[in-house]
Every structure is written in C-alpha cells, then in structure tokens.
C-alpha cells in the first residue's frame, strides 16, 4: 500500500474542510489526462513555454555564462517535449553539456531517452530514475556547473510556504553560480486563466475526478463518480486558481482498506489543487526568500508565462 497517500487521504477527508493533494492526480491514467490538458487550446501554459524555449534558446544559453562544459539537470522531465528545442539548439551549436533528465517514472525516462537518441544522436544523455534530491546531492559533489530545469509551472501547485521549502532544498543542493530555470505562470486577464481550467470539453473535470477513481481502485473505496462534480475559481486579487470536487448530494463513502467512512453534505467540497499565478515582483520575493537572485525573465510574446533564470547566491 502507498502509505503516504493512505495517510493523506485519511487526514484530508476527515478534516473539517476536506482536501486531497493534486500530487496524487498523476497515476498512469491521470498522466494521460494531463497530456490531453496540455493539448487543449485553452491551456496556454504549454504553448507559451514551448514558444519561449523555441525562440529564445540562444538568449537563455548566453545568460548562463558557463564557459566550460556543464550539466542540464531536469527535475520531472516527463516526455521532454518542451526541453527538446533547448537541447537541439545546444547540440546544433556544438556546445558541450550533458543532459540529466530525472523522473520518478522509469517508463517516462525510457521513452524520453529512446526518442532523444533517435532525434539528437549526438546528445550526451545520462537519464536518472528516482528522488530529485538524492541525484542533485550527487551532482553537487562534482565541479561541473549545473543548470537545473523546473519547467511547466509546477511550482504554482505549491503553497507559498511549501514552494520556499522546495526551492530552498534545490538551493542547498546546488553550487554557488549554478543556475535554475523555472517556469512560472503570470497574472493576466482573469478570463484567460479561468478558461484554461474551466475547459469546454471538461477534461480538467475528468483530471480531478480521476483522483476518486484512483482511490476506489487502490483502497477498495466506493465513490460513485457521477455523484461528484468539479468546480474551480480564479481569484485575480491573489492570483490563485483553486479547484474542488463537489459532492452533488448528501452521501456516505466507504474506503474499506483504510477502515474509513466519509460523510458528505450536499454541495460539500474537497479542495484538490492550487494553481498560483505570479507577478514579477512576487517572483523576485520568492527567489530572495530561497537564496536566489533573478538574472532574467524570458517571456512569451503574449507575456503569459515566464521561464525565469535564477542564480544561487553565496
Ligand atoms: C502541472 N500544473 C502546473 C498544472 C497547473 O496548471 O496547475 C496542473 C493542472 N491542473 C489543471 N490543469 C492543469
């Protein structure tokens, strides 16, 4: 049994205000639904970041100011689709580097490595499966400068406190002058943001409800999926999209393997996800609080998203 998931379900569904973490969205099925989300016309984040890495690879590499061979360590590499353009630029300009993609999924890493070897045969790729920090710690031991990639806007799924904790941990496992390129979604017209999460085809709804399907399968629970719905809300004054699962009626759910009976009132919510949107000053503060300095922001042409280049301070 996945024990941290079990503990989080017990704690989250027994709380006065029910909650479940979006980190549990990504079982095989959830990862597939997320691929669908990234292809939706409303989900501008992926296209914006792809544009940045396609059109500004040269500027990003110049801003690194690494004058020797370096490592590019990608945290949560997934299918590596976005990173491809950056790697392609480096390879075609004969710049010396190793690409170290890290992911918890062996399957994702195998597919990524095969694809890259086929499309960029000259690329030096050293894929790793496992815990980010173990691998980062090892990388920090050698003298080779590193560029860490944390793309896709994933930092936005952490509360401010957790984001600072995570970024400080990255920082602790980096060498002075190492760089971090971090993808962050920017504040913009609230309707654009609302539509990216409240999509017409209800793919984001499926993404959320898949969490209940996952709990049914892994813990022998009896959530009746049709008796739940999805709601999300963007509050532009604080830059937060919050997503929820809504119980459509008063009902009781058994989670047999956890010996739990959960009661829901009609319209009761389970908070599932935070997707934070940032202003540039907020990004500066986040960098400072985790011992980085912002070198430069690389924005797409609509100013929707930034790949922000940070440097570890002494
Ligand atoms: C992975 N993460 C940055 C996505 C986001 O935009 O918060 C996950 C997601 N949730 C709903 N749609 C996409």
Q: Which of 20, 21, 22 to mutate to test the pocket of ligand 1 (most atoms within 8 A of CB)?
A: 22
Average pLDDT of the residues in 27-51: 94
Q: Is 183 in the pocket of ligand 1 (CB under 6 A)?
A: no
Tell me how far the alpha carbon of residue 29 lies from the centroid of ligand 1, in angstroms: 15
Average pLDDT of the residues in 273-296: 98
Average pLDDT of the residues in 7-18: 98
In angstroms, the CA 208 to CA 197 distance is 11
Q: What is the pLDDT of residue 49?
A: 96
**Which amino acid residue places its CA nearest to atom 1 of ligand 1?**
154
Tell me how far the alpha carbon of residue 213 lies from the centroid of ligand 1, in angstroms: 19
Q: What is the pLDDT of residue 305?
A: 98
Please determine, for residue 280, whether its predicted confidence score (pLDDT) is greater than 80.
Answer: yes
Q: What is the pLDDT of residue 40?
A: 97
- Alpha-carbon distance values, 195 to 36, 166, 189 (Å): 15, 29, 10
Q: What is the pLDDT of residue 1?
A: 75
Please determine, for residue 173, whether its predicted confidence score (pLDDT) is greater than 80.
Answer: yes
Q: Is 291 in the pocket of ligand 1 (CB under 6 A)?
A: no
Tokens of 161: 């406190």
Residue 146 backbone phi and psi in degrees, to 5: -125, 145
Which of 77, 84, 19 lies closest to 273, judged by CA?
Answer: 19
| Residue 176: Cβ within 10 Å count | 9
Tell me how far the alpha carbon of residue 275 lies from the centroid of ligand 1, in angstroms: 6
Q: Which residues contact 299 (CB under 8 A, 6 or more apart)?
A: 52, 186, 305, 306
Q: Which of 273, 304, 305, 306 to mutate to test the pocket of ligand 1 (most atoms within 8 A of CB)?
A: 273
Ordered DSSP codes for 39-66: TSTT-HHHHHHHHHHHHSHHHHHHHH--
Q: Is 208 in the pocket of ligand 1 (CB under 6 A)?
A: no
Average pLDDT of the residues in 78-103: 91
Q: Is 273 in the pocket of ligand 1 (CB under 6 A)?
A: yes
| Residue 50: Cβ within 10 Å count | 18
Residue 15 backbone phi and psi in degrees, to 5: -70, 160
Q: What residue has token string 């400080």?
A: 168
Burial label, 81 (beta-carbon count in 10 A; 0-12, 13-18, 19+):
middle
Q: Which atom of ligand 1 is nearest to the CA of 241?
A: 7
Please determine, for residue 190, whether its predicted confidence score (pLDDT) is greater than 90.
Answer: yes
Q: Is 275 in the pocket of ligand 1 (CB under 6 A)?
A: yes
Tell me how far the alpha carbon of residue 241 lies from the centroid of ligand 1, in angstroms: 10
Average pLDDT of the residues in 188-214: 98
Beta-strand pair 128-129/97-103:
parallel
Tell me how far the alpha carbon of residue 90 lies from the centroid of ligand 1, in angstroms: 29
Q: Is 157 in the pocket of ligand 1 (CB under 6 A)?
A: yes
Q: Considering the entire predicted model, what is its pTM?
A: 0.95
Give me the count of residues in the chain.
Answer: 314
In angstroms, the CA 238 to CA 212 distance is 29
Bridge partners for 148 per DSSP: 73, 180
Average pLDDT of the residues in 155-163: 97
Ordered DSSP codes for 278-299: B-HHHHHHHHHHTTEEEEEEEE
Residue 38 backbone phi and psi in degrees, to 5: -65, -20
């Amino acid at each position: 049994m996945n024990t941290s998931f079990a503990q989080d379900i017990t704690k989250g569904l027994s709380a006065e205000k029910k909650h479940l973490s979006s980190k549990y969205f990504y079982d095989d099925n959830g990862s597939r639904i997320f691929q669908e989300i990234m292809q939706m016309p409303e989900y501008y984040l992926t296209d914006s970041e792809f544009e940045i890495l396609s059109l500004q690879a040269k500027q990003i590499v110049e801003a690194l100011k690494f004058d020797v061979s370096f490592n590019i360590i990608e945290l949560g590499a997934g299918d590596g689709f976005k990173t491809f353009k950056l790697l392609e630029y480096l390879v075609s300009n004969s710049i010396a580097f190793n690409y170290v993609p890290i992911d918890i999924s062996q399957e994702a890493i195998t597919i990524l490595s095969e694809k890259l070897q086929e499309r960029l045969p000259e690329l030096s790729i050293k894929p790793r499966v496992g815990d980010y920090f173990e691998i980062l710690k090892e990388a920090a031991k050698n003298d080779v400068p590193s560029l860490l990639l944390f793309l896709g806007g994933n930092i936005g799924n952490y509360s401010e406190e957790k984001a600072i904790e995570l970024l400080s941990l990255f920082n602790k496992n980096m060498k002075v002058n190492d760089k971090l390129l971090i993808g962050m979604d920017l504040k913009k017209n609230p309707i654009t943001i609302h539509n990216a999460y409240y999509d017409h085809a209800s793919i984001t709804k499926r993404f959320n409800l898949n969490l209940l399907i996952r709990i049914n399968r892994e813990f022998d629970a009896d959530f009746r999926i049709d008796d739940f719905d999805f709601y999300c809300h963007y509050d532009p004054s604080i830059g937060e999209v919050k997503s929820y699962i809504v119980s459509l009626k008063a009902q009781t759910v058994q989670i047999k393997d956890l010996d739990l009976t959960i009661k829901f009132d009609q319209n009761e919510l389970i908070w599932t996800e935070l997707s934070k949107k940032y202003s540039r000053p907020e990004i500066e503060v986040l960098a400072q609080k985790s011992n980085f300095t912002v070198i430069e922001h690389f924005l797409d042409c609509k100013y929707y998203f930034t790949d922000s280049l940070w440097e570890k301070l002494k």
